[in-house]
A and B are shown apart, each in its own frame.
Chain A
Amino acid sequence: MNGLIAIVRRELAAYFETPLAWVFLTVFAVAAPSFAWRIGNLFETGRADLAPLFDYMPWLLLILMPALAMRSWAEERDRGTLEVLLSSPIPLWAAALGKFLAAWAIAGLALVLTFPLWIAMNYLGAPDNAATATAYMGAFLLAGGFLAIGQALSAATSNQVIAFVLGVGACFLITAAGLPVVLDALSGGLPGAAAEALAELSALARFESLRRGVVSLADLIYFVSLIGLGLASAMTLIDSRRGGGR
């Protein structure tokens, strides 16, 4: 537990001691409402809800989460500080989880920065606040899944740009798998069960049900599994650098 707390504190300090967290939060705070206003026509729908914000949220997250996660291991490898970490008595799970929790906290803070929009909707009308809350929960879980994938790919390289590009690619794949256009295209060539299985793997479909206000155990398990898979992959990749194989 000491190791976990030490890593979370160090990672948060690393985000805020450099311009990274400030730039990220500013870009998110500007981009998320801008998408909702400019592309989602937030104020022209005639409805007091945040649907336009969440329409574009997965696409914003799939760019910004890999940007937040790309440094997690690639930077340690590039600077040689990975050797310092691997020689310290911090268990690898604590290092991976600590890095993830710090990045997830910043993602959560970024989502909180869009709350003024939610407050404005309550001022303008009577939105379904329970559905909005589950939509925010869905966005937070989706951000966590993307961050975990980003961390795993950051562990695969010492180059942060490569980690970012791979992260965006992987997040795009699991998001796009649920798009109707992809599913329609695949349903012609794939057996029904395979297309259905692919749709089940899509993060977008899981997010969509949460943003409609439907909280199901299967969706929660999906996101927790995605996060677990990402962190376990990162740990495996880093641990394999010790070699030995005993």
Chain B
Amino acid sequence: MILADQLVKRFTGRTAVHEVSFTVERGEVLGFLGPNGAGKSTTMRMIAGCLEPDAGRALVDGHDSALDRQAAQSRLGYLPEGAPAYPAMSARGYVRFHLRARGFSGEALTHACETALKRANLGAAADKPIGALSKGYKRRAALAAAIAHDPPVLILDEPTDGLDPNQKDGVRALINEMAPKKAIIISTHLLEEVDAICSRAIVIAGGRLLADDTPHALARLGDDDTIGSAFRTLTRPAGEAISERAGSGRT
């Protein structure tokens, strides 16, 4: 359902993503792990069609995100980092805007909107301006918009960031509920999230793919068989290299 094939993205003076390849099939939840600035969001943006790769390709349900963008994007639900939304709009208005842009109208639009608001557990907050909502509710409003058209592919950039433990559990339960019918990528800094919801995980640092395996197999790469230690083992060399470069730059 999702294919990243040798994706490369360069920004002025640096390569943010270097020949990253992976696939995600229907029924899989792929955890995307990596330190800040590793290239997670850039990779997700290329799959979502917000950025074009400098080399390689990203396919969503068989459609190239850069060359057949509209077909790819109509099969995709994307929650960008920070869950941006229009602050003056209500969550309901925001979800309806997304559905209308995807060709929904009349009864189908209303039904899809109400279902998404219910699944994202917006409750009475659905009719308040998004700008007046708490961070957790804002994120849920953006999540409702991303899932409203029931896309086969979901890309969620840090969907539980800033949520309280109960809200995190709610979002994880929602992802688990949707997982059997969709291909889902979530990026996260929360390593316990990988155990809780991901069927597979990849680790990326310095724009390069370092590992791609099940959470259980990934954990074995660490010193004490946990995802956390595996993450540190895999990403420490990149971090240390950055520190060393910064140190040598100062002297």
A-B complex is real: yes
A23 CB within 8 Å of chain B: no
B87 CB within 8 Å of chain A: yes
**A89 contacts B70, C-beta separation under 8 Å:** yes
Comparing A79-87, A113-121, A163-171, the segment that makes contact with chain B is: A79-87
CB closest residue in chain A, given B47: A87
What residues on A are CB-neighbors of B71 within 8 Å? Answer: 89
What residues on B are CB-neighbors of A45 within 8 Å? Answer: none
CB closest residue in chain B, given A244: B52
Cα of A13 to Cα of B70 in the assembled complex, Å: 25
Query: A9 with B100: in contact, given A80-B82, A87-B78, A89-B70 (CB under 8 Å)?
Result: yes
What residues on B are CB-neighbors of A18 within 8 Å? Answer: 88
Within 8 A of B (CB), among A1-48: 2-3, 5-7, 9-10, 13-14, 17-18
Query: A17 with B100: in contact, given A84-B80, A87-B49, A89-B74 (CB under 8 Å)?
Result: no
Query: Smallest Cβ distance from B38 to chain A, in angstroms?
Result: 18
A214 CB within 8 Å of chain B: no
Contact of B50 among A7, A90, A242, A246 (CB under 8 A): A242
Q: A2-B101, A246-B66 are in contact. List 9 more A-B contacts (CB 8 A).
A: A13-B89, A79-B86, A83-B84, A84-B85, A87-B76, A87-B78, A244-B52, A245-B52, A246-B52
Total interface residues in chain B, CB < 8 Å: 35
B31 CB within 8 Å of chain A: no
**B101 contacts A3, C-beta separation under 8 Å:** yes
Query: A89 with B89: in contact, given A83-B50, A243-B9, A243-B52 (CB under 8 Å)?
Result: no
A91 CB within 8 Å of chain B: yes
What residues on A are CB-neighbors of B85 within 8 Å? Answer: 81, 84
What residues on A are CB-neighbors of B101 within 8 Å? Answer: 2-3, 6-7, 88-90
Interfacial residues, chain A to chain B (CB-CB below 8 A) = 2-3, 5-7, 9-10, 13-14, 17-18, 79-81, 83-84, 86-91, 242-246
B201 CB within 8 Å of chain A: no
What residues on A are CB-neighbors of B82 within 8 Å? Answer: 80
What residues on A are CB-neighbors of B139 within 8 Å? Answer: none
Query: A2 with B100: in contact, given A81-B84, A246-B52 (CB under 8 Å)?
Result: yes
B189 CB within 8 Å of chain A: no
Contact of A80 among B54, B80, B89, B97 (CB under 8 A): B80
**B103 contacts A17, C-beta separation under 8 Å:** no
B200 CB within 8 Å of chain A: no
* Interface residues as binary, B56-84 with A (CB distance below 8 Å gives 1, 0 otherwise): 00000000001101110110101010101
Cα of A81 to Cα of B98 in the assembled complex, Å: 12
Query: A80 with B50: in contact, given A13-B93, A89-B70 (CB under 8 Å)?
Result: no
Cα of A9 to Cα of B82 in the assembled complex, Å: 25
Cα of A246 to Cα of B68 in the assembled complex, Å: 12
CB closest residue in chain B, given A98: B101
What residues on B are CB-neighbors of A13 within 8 Å? Answer: 88-89, 93
